[in-house]
């Protein structure tokens, strides 16, 4: 890769062209002072006052986020507010003041660093994404105690600029002046970080996980930041700027014209119907999935009902939410994924201690089966919602046959109890397996025999197959769901479902990438669950290609040696039907190929 071209993770699409401004939003160096015994309680009061002030400031930032990004995005700040309300955390900082005579700022810093090290050691992807929230709170409180103003960081930005920083917290993202800040570049962060979600909602191009950006980019350097490709070009030539501007115009034209595709049927050129469902992480995504005509919900994540809360959701709360989603998609299936949580995410008294390798530890269906109070309530809630909608249950992280059998027994048990109590509920509901481990893929024929459906979670399947942490920015280029080893497992699952007469679908991020959706269709998947914003482009792609083309490409891809070879095969085949520049800006275009336009 050229020294002028840096690679990161594109988290918010669009192209920004402007000079770089380095913003070092970091924890200031806190002097190690001790206070006299008579000053200890004064320091405790200073700490409490600072926490109150910062909490009030974050509430103001949350209100600003509601105006600029929407009310659901504003809830991102609830995590920071909960940190400031954590009495155990604050009591620990106060103990450091009283026992060691530390200043308020030093005690808060020590306690925050202790929590940060604990979260980092867990290896949890979700906790890594929350580190930016913890760091943001810590910096705000410590800077407030040291009388440092936030305004100092932004006074240097007086013209359209691209902010380059070590780590972007959601608070910084939403405070940016859109007149002067046109793009964001961060050394840390992933697609699932809160700052990435906010940048996407605000329509600001952003690239994260770009290691060494602050060192490699002198302030004032003109950049071309491409939030779609995840690239940053330093000191572009006039020709490179013209090319980037052309790409951005095409991207905007594509986004506008794709809306016309939404109402059209999802059928290939040779008449094969591909069912396109939507993935729903949070309640606000329901409307987006509806607007893009999703054929139901293929993955309804339920973790938000627990994370950032101090208590478990009640059965009634869960039943109401499941029914709400089901009734939003009348006569269409809604697939509820049971809690996919590690023990570290649970509220007391269920929370467990630190694990050396949480991704291989006590999580997902293992937690649910070991904690009947959690699992049985969720199953009952699903059964109650199933009386009003087509509700289905999907089990994550399955590695053993008995996990499915035990879950089916619980569904039967709770169905009988609800019937005996006279509650309005379904007697049973379909139970499927989320195939996201190599063990489940290899055993797909056995799992299909005892399940009602299979659905592949390609995110974890790729992570576990390739031994790559999908939250690690350093390994981003190794996270390739189109690796030959992964697509062979995908083929095994599709074949197992077909042989058993059971539906097999894909609900991971792979289905949201048009090029890879083409591969999945060729492997035999006729149902894909897609991130709502990607639905129009995936549908347009489906309408351009033939299933026969996709099968031919998949057959060749299964014989490929490397992930790059797989991409070349897909691009070569797809170029017969589609202008690859619309789907894959970095594609090496084969010569002499017909390219479909958006008007086809």
Catalytic site residue from 144, 194, 292, 482: 194
Which tens digit of pLDDT belongs to each residue from 391-433?
Answer: 999 999 999 999 999 999 999 999 999 999 999 999 999 999 9
Residue 194 is predicted with a pLDDT of 62
Q: Per-residue pLDDT averaged across 543-559, rounded?
A: 96
Strand order in the sheet with 15-22: 5-7, 231-234, 222-226, 15-22, 161-165, 181-186, 206-208, 9-12
State pLDDT tens for residues 477-532: 788 999 999 999 999 999 999 999 999 999 988 998 899 999 999 999 999 999 88
The mean pLDDT of 365-375, rounded to a whole number, is 90
How confident is the model over 331-351, as a mean pLDDT?
74
| C-alpha distances out from residue 48 to 32, 35, 89, 136, 149, Å | 20, 17, 12, 17, 19
519's CB contacts (< 8 A; 6+ apart) are: 482, 487, 550, 553, 554, 557, 566, 570
440: helix, strand or coil: helix
**Catalytic residue list contains 507:** yes
Collapsed DSSP state (helix, strand, coil) of residue 364: coil
Q: What is the pLDDT of residue 262?
A: 87
| Distance (Å, whole) CA 23 – CA 6 | 18
- Assess contact for 529 and 336: CB atoms under 8 A: no
Mean predicted confidence (pLDDT) in 203-209:
89
* Helix extents (H) in 259-400: 285-291, 315-328, 365-370, 372-385
Helix (H, G, I), strand (E, B) or coil at 475: helix
* pLDDT at residue 152 is higher than 90: no
- Distances in whole angstroms, Cα of residue 246 to Cα of each of 250, 553, 597: 6, 30, 16
In contact, 61 and 171? CB cutoff 8 Å: yes
| pLDDT above 50 for 599 | no
Helices (H), 75-169: 78-84, 87-100, 104-122, 125-145, 151-154
Q: Which listed CATH number (3.40.309.10, 3.40.50.2000, 1.10.274.10, 2.40.50.140) goes with 39-146?
A: 1.10.274.10
For 5-25+153-240, CATH number out of 3.50.30.10, 1.10.8.60, 3.40.50.12780, 3.30.70.20 equals 3.50.30.10
475 touches 485 (CB < 8 A) = no
Fold matches, 5-25+153-240 and 39-146 = no
The predicted pLDDT at position 151 comes to 52
Which residue in 144, 200, 210, 507 is the catalytic one?
507
3-state secondary structure of 10: strand
Q: Residue 227 pLDDT > 80, yes or no?
A: yes
Residue 30 CB: number of other CB atoms within 10 A? 17
Is the separation of the CB atoms in 548 and 566 below 8 Å? no
| Band of residue 593 on the pLDDT scale cut at 50, 70, 90 | very low
Sign of CA dihedral 107, 111, 112, 116: positive
Model confidence at 594, pLDDT cuts 50, 70, 90, reads very low
Q: How far apart (Å, rounded) are the C-alpha atoms in residues 543 and 83?
A: 48
Q: Which of 374, 433, 379, 431 is nearest to 408 (CA)?
A: 431
What are the sequence ranges of the domains in the chain? 5-25+153-240, 39-146, 301-429, 445-595
Q: What is the pLDDT of residue 388?
A: 97
CATH code for residues 445-595:
3.20.20.60
Look at 238 and 578; give whichever has higher pLDDT. Answer: 238
- Determine which helix (DSSP H) or strand (DSSP E) holds 431, and give its type and residue range: strand 431-435
Say whether the peptide bond before residue 208 is cis (omega within 30 degrees of 0): no
pLDDT at 592 over 70: no
For residue 64, pLDDT over 80 is answered with: no
3-state secondary structure of 425: coil
Two structure tokens written together for 333: 């299936």
**In whole angstroms, what is the distance from residue 274 CA to residue 517 CA?**
10
Q: What is the pTM of this model?
A: 0.70
pLDDT band at 136 (very low <50, low <70, confident <90, very high): confident
More confident: 120 or 109:
109
Neighbouring-strand partners of residue 337 = 394
Taking 50 as the threshold, does the pLDDT of residue 224 lie above it?
yes
Separation of first and last alpha carbons in the chain: 36
Rounded CA separation 62/48 (Å): 21
DSSP class per residue in 200-242:
HHHT--EEE--TTHHHHS-TT-EEEEETTTTEEEES--HHHHH
User: Pick the residue with more confidence: 119 or 99?
Assistant: 99
Backbone φ and ψ for 233, nearest 5 degrees, come out as -105, 125
Supply the mean pLDDT for the chain.
Answer: 86
Q: Which residues contact 360 (CB under 8 A, 6 or more apart)?
A: none
**In the structure, what pLDDT confidence band is assigned to residue 154 with cuts at 50, 70 and 90?**
low
Residue with tokens 């900082």: 93
Active site residue 210: no
Second CATH level (architecture) for the domain 301-429? Alpha-Beta Barrel (3.20)
Q: Which residue has the higher pLDDT, 259 or 152?
A: 259
Structure tokens at 57: 């400031």
Is residue 307's pLDDT more than 80?
Answer: no
């Amino acid at each position: 890769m050229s020294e002028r071209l840096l690679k990161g993770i594109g988290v918010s699409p669009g192209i920004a062209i402007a000079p770089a401004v380095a913003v070092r939003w970091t924890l200031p160096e806190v002097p190690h002072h001790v206070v006299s015994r008579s000053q200890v309680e004064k320091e405790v009061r200073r700490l409490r006052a600072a926490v109150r002030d910062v909490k009030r400031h974050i509430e103001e930032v949350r209100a600003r986020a509601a105006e600029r990004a929407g009310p659901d995005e504003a809830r991102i700040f609830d995590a920071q507010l909960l940190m400031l309300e954590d009495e155990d955390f604050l009591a620990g900082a106060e103990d450091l003041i009283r026992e060691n005579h530390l200043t308020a700022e030093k005690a808060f810093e020590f306690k925050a660093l202790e929590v940060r090290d604990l979260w980092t050691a867990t290896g949890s992807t979700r906790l890594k994404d929350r580190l930016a929230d913890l760091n943001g709170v810590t910096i705000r409180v410590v800077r407030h105690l040291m009388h440092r103003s936030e305004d100092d960081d932004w006074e240097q930005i007086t013209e359209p600029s691209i902010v380059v920083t070590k780590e972007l917290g959601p608070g910084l993202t939403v405070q940016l002046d859109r007149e002067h800040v046109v793009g964001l570049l961060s050394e840390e962060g992933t697609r699932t970080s809160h700052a990435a979600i906010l940048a996407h909602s605000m329509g600001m191009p952003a690239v994260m996980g770009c290691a060494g950006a602050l060192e490699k980019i002198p302030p004032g350097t003109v950049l071309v930041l491409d939030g779609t490709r995840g690239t940053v070009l330093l000191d572009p030539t006039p020709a490179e700027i013209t090319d980037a501007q052309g790409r951005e115009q095409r991207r905007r034209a594509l986004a506008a014209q794709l809306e016309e595709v939404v109402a059209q049927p999802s059928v290939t050129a040779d008449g094969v119907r591909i069912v396109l469902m939507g993935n729903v992480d949070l309640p606000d995504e329901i409307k987006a999935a509806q607007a893009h005509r999703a054929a139901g919900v293929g993955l309804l994540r339920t973790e938000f009902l627990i994370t950032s809360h101090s208590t478990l959701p009640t059965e009634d709360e869960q039943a109401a939410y499941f029914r709400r989603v089901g009734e939003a998609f009348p006569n269409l299936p809604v697939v509820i994924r049971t809690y996919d949580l590690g023990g570290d995410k649970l509220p007391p008294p269920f929370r467990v201690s630190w694990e050396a390798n949480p991704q291989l530890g006590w999580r997902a269906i293992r937690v649910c089966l070991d904690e009947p109070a959690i699992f049985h309530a969720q199953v009952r809630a699903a059964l109650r919602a199933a009386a009003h909608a087509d509700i289905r249950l999907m089990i994550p992280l399955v590695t053993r046959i008995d996990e499915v059998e035990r879950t089916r027994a619980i569904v039967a048990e709770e169905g009988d109890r609800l019937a005996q109590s006279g509650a309005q509920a379904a007697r049973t509901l379909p139970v499927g397996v989320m195939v996201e481990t190599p063990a489940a893929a290899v055993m797909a024929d056995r799992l299909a025999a005892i399940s009602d459906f299979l659905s592949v979670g390609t995110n974890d399947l790729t992570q576990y197959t390739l031994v790559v942490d999908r939250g690690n920015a350093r390994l981003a280029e190794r996270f390739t769901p189109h690796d030959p080893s992964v697509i062979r497992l995908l083929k095994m699952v599709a074949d197992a479902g077909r042989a058993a007469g059971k539906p097999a679908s894909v609900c991971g991020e792979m289905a949201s990438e048009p090029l890879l959706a083409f591969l999945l269709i060729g492997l035999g998947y006729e149902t894909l669950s897609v991130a709502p914003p990607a639905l129009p482009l995936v549908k347009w792609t489906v309408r351009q290609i033939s299933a026969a083309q996709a099968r031919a490409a998949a057959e060749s891809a299964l014989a490929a040696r490397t992930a790059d070879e797989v991409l070349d095969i897909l691009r070569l085949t797809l170029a017969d039907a589609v202008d690859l520049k619309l789907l894959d800006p970095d594609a090496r275009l084969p010569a002499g190929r017909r390219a479909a336009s958006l008007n086809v």
